[in-house]
Structure 1
Amino acid sequence: AYNPKYSCPLVPSANHLETAILAGEKSFDLFKK
Structure 2
Amino acid sequence: VRSEQVEDNRNKGAAAPFFSRLLYHIQLGIYG
Sort the TM-score into its range (normalised by shorter chain).
under 0.3
**Greater C-alpha radius of gyration:** 1
Higher helix fraction (1 or 2): 2
Q: Which has the higher contact order (CA 8 A, sep 6+)?
A: 1
